[in-house]
Structure 1
Amino acid sequence: MARAVHLFFRFLDILLALLLAGMAIMVFVNVVMRYAMNSGIAVSDELSRFAFVWLTFIGAVVAHHHHQHMGMETLVARFGRRGRTVLMGLSDLLILGCAGVLTVGTWKQLPINASMSAPVTGLSMAWVYGIGLFTGIGIIVITAERLFRLLTGRITEAEVAAFGGDHDDILPDGSTRGHME
C-alpha cells in the first residue's frame, strides 16, 4: 500500500511539473508572438489559466501530504508531546471540516459548471473547477488517515516534532533527537 501511495504522489509531482512547464511555454510563446508579430494564440491564454487552477489545487494535496502547509509553529512549539498531539487532533478536525465544505460545495456547483463552456476552447467548465473534488477528497483522505493514526497512538515522534516546527531535529531514519518534553 505504501508503494502505491508513493507512486501516486510521484505521478502527481510529475503532473505538476508538466503543468508548470506547459503553462510557462504557452505564456512565453504568446508574449514573444505579441511582441514580434503583434498577434497571439487565444487558446494558450485560456489553457494556461486552466493549468494554473489545476496546478494550485493538485499542489495543495501534494503539499498537505508532505506537511508543507503553513502552521502556527511558534505557538505549538511551546507545548510538549501531549499538547502537540491535542493541537494536531484539533487541527486535523478543522482541516476535515474545511475540506468537507470544499468537496460538498464543488459537488453542488458541478452541474452549473458543466452547463457552461470556456469561451475559446469550448471545454466544459466542469473540467476546470471540478478539480476541487480531487482536492477536497484528497485532503480528507490524507487527514483522516493521520487522525486515525493519532487516535490509535501510531503517530510517529518525527510527525509530532515536525508539527511543532522541530524540522531540524528529525534524523534521516525518521526519529528525533529527543528535544521534546
Structure 2
Amino acid sequence: MNRLIDGLFKLFELFIVACLAIMVAMVFGNAILRKLSDYGLVLFGGGINVSEELSRIMFVWLTFVGAVVVARENAHMGVDTLVARFGDRGRRIAMTLSDALVVLCCAVFFWGTWRQAGLHLTNTAPITGMSMIWVYGVGFIAAIGMGALAVARVVRTLTGRLDQRELDQFAGEFGDDPNSIRAKVE
C-alpha cells in the first residue's frame, strides 16, 4: 500500500513540475511574441490568448496539488516554537487536535466545493470555453488528499503506530540537526 501511495505522490510531483514548465513556456512565449510585435513582427496576433488563461488554471492546480504534497511531507506552516517545548505526549495531543481541525476544514472545503460544483459545471472560461469545474474541481482533490492524510495520522497516533521522526517533524525538527529545538530543550 505504501508503494502505491508513494507512486501516487510521485505522480503529483511530476504533475506539479509539468504544470510549472508549461506555465513558464506559455508566459515566456507570450512575452516574446508581444515584444516581437513591438518591432513589427506580428506572429499569432502578438500573443496566444489561450496561454494566459491556461497558465492561470495550471497555477491553481499546481497550488492545490502542491498543498497536498506538502501536507504529506509535514511541511505546512505551524507553531513549532510552542510545540517543540512539549514532551512526546503533549506533541501527540497537539498533533491530534491539529489534525482534527484539518479534517474539519477539509470537510467544509469539500462541502463548499460540492455545493458550487453545479454552478461551475455550466460556467465556462471566456477564452478556452472549458467548464469552470476544471478550475474549481481541484478543491475535491485537495480536500480529500489533505483530509485523508490527516485522518491517517490521527489513526496512527491513536493506535500507537506514529513514528518518532514524524512526531519530531510536527514540532519543527527535521533531521539530526544538533541545533534543533529539541536538542536545545534537552
The CA distance in 1 between the partners of 2:152 and 2:185, in whole Å, is 24
Letter in 1 for 2:168: A
| Residues 148 and 178 of structure 1, relative CA distance in 2, 3 Å threshold | farther
Letter in 2 for 1:141: A
Contact 2:85–2:185 (CA<8 Å) still a contact in 1? no
Contact 1:161–1:180 (CA<8 Å) still a contact in 2? no
Deviation (angstroms), 1:36: 1.0
TM-score norm. by structure 1 comes to: 0.92
Partner residue in 2 for 1:174: none
Q: State the superposition RMSD in angstroms.
A: 1.6
Structure 1 residue 91 corresponds to structure 2 residue 98: yes
The CA distance in 2 between the partners of 1:150 and 1:23, in whole Å, is 39
Partner residue in 2 for 1:57: 64
Q: Deviations over 1:9-46 (max 9, x none)?
A: 01111111000000010000001111112511100000
The CA distance in 2 between the partners of 1:22 and 1:180, in whole Å, is 46
Letter in 2 for 1:27: V
Secondary structure of the equivalent of 2:175? helix
The CA distance in 1 between the partners of 2:173 and 2:139, in whole Å, is 32
Structure 1 residue 121 corresponds to structure 2 residue 128: yes
Letter in 1 for 2:51: S
Contact 2:95–2:170 (CA<8 Å) still a contact in 1? yes
Structure 1 residue 143 corresponds to structure 2 residue 172: no
Percentage of identical aligned residues = 45
The CA distance in 1 between the partners of 2:143 and 2:15, in whole Å, is 18
The CA distance in 2 between the partners of 1:3 and 1:180, in whole Å, is 36
Contact 1:61–1:135 (CA<8 Å) still a contact in 2? yes
Moved more, 95-104 or 30-39: 30-39
Deviation (angstroms), 1:169: 2.9
The CA distance in 2 between the partners of 1:67 and 1:43, in whole Å, is 36
Q: Deviations over 1:100-147 (max 9, x none)?
A: 111110011010011100000000000111000010011111111110
Q: Deviations over 1:72-108 (max 9, x none)?
A: 0101011110110000000001100111111110011
Secondary structure of the equivalent of 2:126? coil
- Specify every segment of 5 or more residues in structure 2 that has no aligned partner in the other structure, as ranges: 39-45
Letter in 2 for 1:42: N
- Specify every segment of 5 or more residues in structure 1 that has no aligned partner in the other structure, as ranges: 171-176
The CA distance in 1 between the partners of 2:14 and 2:175, in whole Å, is 27
The CA distance in 2 between the partners of 1:166 and 1:121, in whole Å, is 46
Contact 2:61–2:138 (CA<8 Å) still a contact in 1? yes
Partner residue in 1 for 2:21: 21
Partner residue in 2 for 1:8: 8
Which aligned runs of 4 or more in structure 1 are off by greater than 6 angstroms?
A: 177-181
